[in-house]
Amino acid sequence: MVFRFLLATLLCLLALPTRAEIAIQHERSSLQLTPELSQGGGGRNVAETDTSTTLTFTRDPAEEVQDELPRLPTIDLTTAPDDLWQRMRNGFGMPDLHGHLVADRQAWYLNRPDLLKRVFARSGKYLYHIIGELEKRGMPTELALLPIVESSFNPLAYSRARALGMWQFIPSTGKNYNLKRDAWLDQRRDIIASTSAALEYLQNIYEMHGDWHLALASYNWGEHAVARAVNKNKAKGLPTDYSSLTMPGETRYYVPKLQAIKNIVAQPELFGFKLDPIVNTPYFGTVDVDSDLDISLAAKLAETPVEEFIALNPAFHRPMMPGDNASPIVVPADKVAIFRANLERYAAEDKPLSSWETHILKPGETLDGVAARYDISPVKLKQLNGITKRIKVGPGFNLLVPGKGAQAAADDVAGKLPQAMPDVPKATPGKRGKVGKGGKPVGKAADKTGKKIKEVKGKRRTTIIKKSTAKSAAVKAKSKTPTAPKKKQH
């Protein structure tokens, strides 16, 4: 019995290596030892073994994993994309804002696809220049969409708060950023000058707050108002990000509007919106002319319709562009060479570039009298000089009047030129809201959730006009019974 037990044990021990080899071959993977290690240590300790000894892991090539992981999408920034929208997407750099206000504005825009298409089509004239200026400054390119929120890319847009142009500058801020205003032009409407001023302003308020969302709130509400709101939250130990601040309703919806448009531009197919491509080439070029030049003649020299020419040169509100103005003439990019050639040929023929004269209004003179003298209707005279009911006309006022051969030029531009904007807004009756950035109305204040906001559509109101002291005193004297003090307007 003992002998049989010993024999069975010996046979089992001899069979173990074979089973191990079978298992390893079945797994098709093994640890193979180098010859030095397979021959044994020769009685040496592990510490004394050769340091060149290595362990090699091998696998049957037939069982190698052949499927590759999906590649991450890459952007080739060395090659300019053909589509200007893609170029803009490549430069997106602002942190995204999330929340129900973004979803609300997103739905609002998507429910108006025709409006979006018109605004995007209008933006095609200006986006290439704006994106290029943003890239030069290292700024996020989604800021090029801000004129959609401000003016729907309309360079002639004018608000009741006297904000003007594509970037909606009020007079005081425009003056701070050297936007010229005179009898001939208003650079708040100038495509190139206003874009440069807007981006400089955005840079300054970003450096002030260190946050793009707060910078945008400052652009709408005023940097000092935002700073006060931030300090107020700090004093209470509350967060100071955009979503946590208490601000007016218009400002509360301001950044969500931009974020909603950015989302649509980023992934239009996700929202079922067809975003027509814009060729990534300049839409316009500039030409410096040091002589007075009629707008109608300039349009003809550029072989461009008058309406298109005015859309590219909206700063001028008179039918003549003075040669000493601060703004270059803007023409379509494919018409720059044509314009220069036609201008040289026209000047070589010794033809006048302007057929207009300046008439200084004298004491006792009226617009009707001046119009009759120059054989032009009073209505057309006012149109050509951008005169409205808000503009005070008196002695010393410079009027542009037609000279010889100017009647045809007057007909070309009459009613098409933008109006000169007055310095003082016209008072209107009714309740008026608070005033934000240099006179920009901000409406009723809203909490951080955006609730109880009536001005969600960004409806602008005029500035507060106080009653005169004499009238107030008269009303007070007339009253026989004391009344409770009125609450402050908010």
Residues with active-site annotation:
150
Q: How many CB atoms lie within 10 A of CB 42?
A: 8
Q: How many CB atoms lie within 10 A of CB 424?
A: 9
CB contact set of 230 (below 8 Å; sequence gap of 6+): 209, 214, 240, 245
Long-range CB pairs of 224-233, under 8 A, 24+ apart, other chains included? 225/436, 225/437, 225/442
Q: How close are the terminal C-alpha atoms of the chain, in Å?
A: 109
The full DSSP string for 361-375 is PPTT--HHHHHHHTT
Question: How deeply is 488 buried, as exposed, middle or buried, from its count of CB atoms within 10 A (0-12, 13-18, 19+)?
Answer: exposed
Which residues are 164's β-sheet partners?
A: 158, 169
DSSP letter at 4 equals: H
CB contact set of 460 (below 8 Å; sequence gap of 6+): 159, 160, 161, 250, 440, 441
Q: Are 246 and 277 in contact (CB under 8 A)?
A: no
**SS3 string of 176-238?**
HCCCCECCCEECCCCHHHHHHHHHHHHHHHHHHHCCHHHHHHHHHHCHHHHHHHHHHHHHCCC
CA–CA separation, 169 vs 156, rounded Å? Answer: 12
Helices (H), 303-438: 306-312, 336-348, 367-373, 378-384, 407-413
Q: How many CB atoms lie within 10 A of CB 372?
A: 13
Q: Are 395 and 294 in contact (CB under 8 A)?
A: no
CA–CA separation, 480 vs 216, rounded Å? Answer: 50
- What's the distance, CA 224 to chain centroid? 21
CA–CA separation, 317 vs 89, rounded Å? Answer: 36
Q: Are 312 and 321 in contact (CB under 8 A)?
A: no
CA–CA separation, 37 vs 14, rounded Å? Answer: 22
CA–CA separation, 285 vs 188, rounded Å? Answer: 19
